[in-house]
Structure 1
Amino acid sequence: MTVNSVDPISWSALREIVHHNRLAQLKRAPEVTAEYHKYKHHIAVLNTSVFKHLVCVQLKWASEAFYLDPAYNDTNINLPLVSNKSTSHKLFMFSEDTLILPNHFPYNLEQNIKHLVVWSKILIKSIEEENEENDKPIEKNQTPINDNTTQFQIPGDISLRNKSIIHKYIVKTFHKKHHIKEENILWFRNFNHLQSIKTLSHIHVLVKDVPSHTLDAILETEGALLTEQDYLDIDKQLHNL
C-alpha cells in the first residue's frame, strides 16, 4: 500500500505502515509542510534552532537564556547540563525525563486520528548504535510485540528490549490509565534519517477516536511511568522467549 501527501491516511493504512516499518510513507499535508517551513524560517530569524525552541519553550527543560545563547548549538550542547539533569538511565521512570506533547506539524491523517509525541531525555539508541557500543553482532528476526507495533526490522530499528519498554509505557499510559482501546493506539520511533529533531529521543503515538477531554488529560504530562518491577517483568518475558 502506498500513500500520497494529499489524501489523509486512514487508520488501516497507518496500521500497515507501522507494522511493516514503512515509515518513510508518512507525510505531512502540503499546507502543514508549508507551515512547518514558515516556523523553521521564524526560528532561523531569531538565530536559534528548532531543537532549542523545543527544549526551552515547549518542553521547558532549559531556560530561555540558553534558547538565545549563540554559544550553544545543536551539535555542541549536552542536554543534562543545560536542563534539569535526567534522574535515571532508564526510559520512562521519572517525570523529569519524560513529557507528552502534541505534534504541532502532524502527518496527514484522517480527522479522528491524533498525533502525539513522547519526549525523553534518555537516549533511545538504534540496534547498530547499541551493538557498536557493546561490540555485539546485530540482532535479527525479532519477534513483534503485537500487531500495533513494528514487526519487520530494518537498519536503524531499535532492539526488542527497547520496544518492550516503550510498549509497556504506552499501554500503561494510554490504555490502562486513560482507557483508550489498545486497537486504537499505534506507536513508533522514526529512523534517524527520518527525524526532524535528531538530538532528543522521542516516540510518535497515534490514537483514534479519543475524546478531547482525554487528550487534555494526557498532554503535558509524563504519562504512567514505569517502575523497577516493570523492568524486571520485561526482562523476565524476554528471557523466556
Structure 2
Amino acid sequence: MAAIISLSRHRVASIPKICLRGYATVTCCFDEYYFASSHSYTTLVKQETSRTTSFRCHNTSRPKYPTSPSDLRVPGCETRERKNAQKMGDIALPPLSKQPPANHPNADPNPVDESPFPLTAVDKWVLSQTDEEFSYHSWEELRTLIQNNDLSVLKRKPSDLRRYMKWTAETKASYGSMTNYLLAHRLPKAWGAPPFTPVSDIPFADPSDYCVLLNDWPYGFEPGITHIVVWTRTAIATDHDKGDMTPESRKIVGDFVKRYFVDRLGSGGEDKVLYFKNWVALQSVRALEHIHVLVKDVDPAIIEEWTQVHEWHKA
C-alpha cells in the first residue's frame, strides 16, 4: 500500500490513520505544489520529481520533526515506545485509550473545554483513561515527585476526577464559589469571612489560625496513604515566578509538619509523612491558604486526633 506525502514548502499531507505492519512504501514529491489527500482519495495538483522509499512502521529512532521520508511515521501505530510513554509523568505521546462512551460509568460529565477549573496536561491525560488503566501513586513515587517539586504530575483516579469536576460545577452553581462552600461547611466559624485577621502573622504559629481536615477529594494513591489538608488564615509567602513557596516559608511549613505530624508518630515518623503546597497555578481553591500532608500506615485514631474540632475554632 502506498501513501503520497508532500514535503514542499514544509507542508506534509495527511496520511490515513491505518497501522501498517512490516514495511510501508512512501512516494515523496519535491516541488512547488502538493498533493491534496484524504482518507479515501488523493488529488494530484502538480508533480515535478518523485522517488519512492520504504520504512518500518515501528521505527525507534526518529527526530522531533521529519527531515526526510524515512523519518515519517504512520499515525495510529501501536509502538513499544508509545506504551512506555504512558508511564507516570511521561505524557509526550497520547494514551491509546479513548474517551468512554456517554453512558459508560467513567464517562466525563463535563467536557474538557467546559471544566469548572483549569485542567493540567496530566488531568486531560487521565480523563482519556478508565479506572482499570489508571496507575496509582506509590509512596516512593510520591516521595520522588515531592522532592523534585514535580507537583503537576499528581493525579486523581479517572472516575474521581470526573466526579470532582461535576461536584465542583454544582457547588459553584449553588454557592457562587468554592470559597463560599468551604466557609459554610468546612472551615472554622470563628474565622469569619476573608480577609481574615489571624492571631499571628507567622503561619501555623497559633493553633487558632489553622485547622486540619481530611481531603474530601484525594489524589489516586495506593492503599494505606491518607491525604490531609491543613487550612490556614495566615498567608504563606510565595514567589512571583510560579507561586511556589519561598525558602523562608518552606522552612516554616516544614517545621510545623514536623512538630504536628512527625513528632506525634515517634521514632521513624519522618518516613511516614510527606507534605507539599501546590503552586498557585495548580490550586483549584486559590482564595484560601492550605498545604497538603500525606501520611502512610498511620493508626486511624491518630488521624482522628489530628483532625478533631477544637474549642478555639467554634464561633
TM-score of the pair, normalised by structure 2: 0.53
Asked whether the equivalents of residues 232 and 288 of structure 2 are also in contact (C-alpha less than 8 Å), the reply is yes
2:145 paired residue among 2, 5, 17: 17
After TM superposition, list the pairs within 5 Å mapping 1:1-241 onto structure 2. 2-3=88-89, 5=126, 6-61=134-189, 78-80=194-196, 85-128=197-240, 155-179=242-266, 181-220=269-308
Asked whether the equivalents of residues 175 and 181 of structure 2 are also in contact (C-alpha less than 8 Å), the reply is no
Q: Distance in 2 between matches of 1:178 and 1:58?
A: 26
Q: Distance in 2 between matches of 1:38 and 1:197?
A: 15
Compare 94-103 and 154-163 and name the one that shifted more: 154-163
1:212/1:78 Cα in 2 relative to 1: closer, same or farther (>3 Å)?
A: closer
The alignment partner of 2:245 has SS state of coil
C-alpha deviation, 1:79, in angstroms:
2.7
Kindly provide the CA deviation profile for residues 17-50 of structure 1, in whole angstroms up to 9, marking residues without a partner as x: 0000110000111111122122213313324221
Q: What 5-or-longer segments of structure 1 have no aligned partner?
A: 67-76, 129-153, 223-241
Asked whether the equivalents of residues 203 and 232 of structure 2 are also in contact (C-alpha less than 8 Å), the reply is yes
Q: Distance in 1 between matches of 2:293 and 2:309?
A: 14
Identity %: 28
- CA-atom RMSD, angstroms? 2.2
Would you say how many aligned residue pairs link Structure 1 and Structure 2? 181
C-alpha deviation, 1:156, in angstroms:
2.9
**Could you tell me which residue of structure 2 aligns to residue 69 of structure 1?**
none
Q: Distance in 2 between matches of 1:45 and 1:158?
A: 31
C-alpha deviation, 1:62, in angstroms:
6.2
AA aligned opposite 2:207: S
Asked whether the equivalents of residues 276 and 292 of structure 2 are also in contact (C-alpha less than 8 Å), the reply is yes
Asked whether the equivalents of residues 55 and 62 of structure 1 are also in contact (C-alpha less than 8 Å), the reply is no
C-alpha deviation, 1:177, in angstroms:
2.6
Q: Distance in 1 between matches of 2:235 and 2:164?
A: 25
AA aligned opposite 2:169: H
- Which one has the largest radius of gyration? 2
Asked whether the equivalents of residues 143 and 274 of structure 2 are also in contact (C-alpha less than 8 Å), the reply is yes
The alignment partner of 2:212 has SS state of strand
The alignment partner of 2:189 has SS state of coil
TM-score of the pair, normalised by structure 1: 0.69
Q: What 5-or-longer segments of structure 2 have no aligned partner?
A: 1-86, 90-121, 127-133, 311-315
Q: Distance in 2 between matches of 1:47 and 1:173?
A: 33
The alignment partner of 2:291 has SS state of strand
AA aligned opposite 1:99: C
Asked whether the equivalents of residues 15 and 186 of structure 1 are also in contact (C-alpha less than 8 Å), the reply is yes
Kindly provide the CA deviation profile for residues 93-113 of structure 1, in whole angstroms up to 9, marking residues without a partner as x: 222210011111111001111
The alignment partner of 1:79 has SS state of coil
